[in-house]
Amino acid sequence: MTRLGLVVPKRFARRALDRNLVKRIAREALRAALPALDTAVPAALRMDVVIRLKAPLPPVDKRAHAQFKSALRAEANALLIDLARNAAGYKAECHPRTSL
């Protein structure tokens, strides 16, 4: 089971609209990546994913809003794909195969 935590500080996204947008896109990306994460991690283990905004959002005008949303989604997808790859490698290290 995978749980998600989101940290979007007010100092990096002043408007509540922008903070909620980042959170919404991160949740959508996790829902899309959930099958890959669940196969990468054994069912007995639980994974907590925390996504934190580390830099201020650039100012976005209404015309570039769709482009901004797609860039956020692409970055969230890339982070979660890397996490799934790393989790699969971690699983192999935790449970080494023994030959008989």
Which residue, among 57, 49, 50, has the nearest Cα to 10 in the 3D structure?
57
Give the pLDDT band of residue 96 (cuts 50, 70, 90): low
Distance CA(91)–CA(85), nearest Å, equals 10
Span 49-90, pLDDT tens digits: 899 999 998 887 877 888 989 999 999 999 988 888 887 776
Distance CA(86)–CA(82), nearest Å, equals 6
Q: Could you give the domains of the chain? A: 2-94 (3.30.2330)
Q: Are 23 and 68 in contact (CB under 8 A)?
A: no
From residue 74, alpha-carbon distances to 17, 25, 28, 79 in Å are: 19, 10, 11, 9
| pLDDT score recorded for residue 98 | 46
Mean pLDDT of all residues in 31-40: 84
pTM value is 0.78
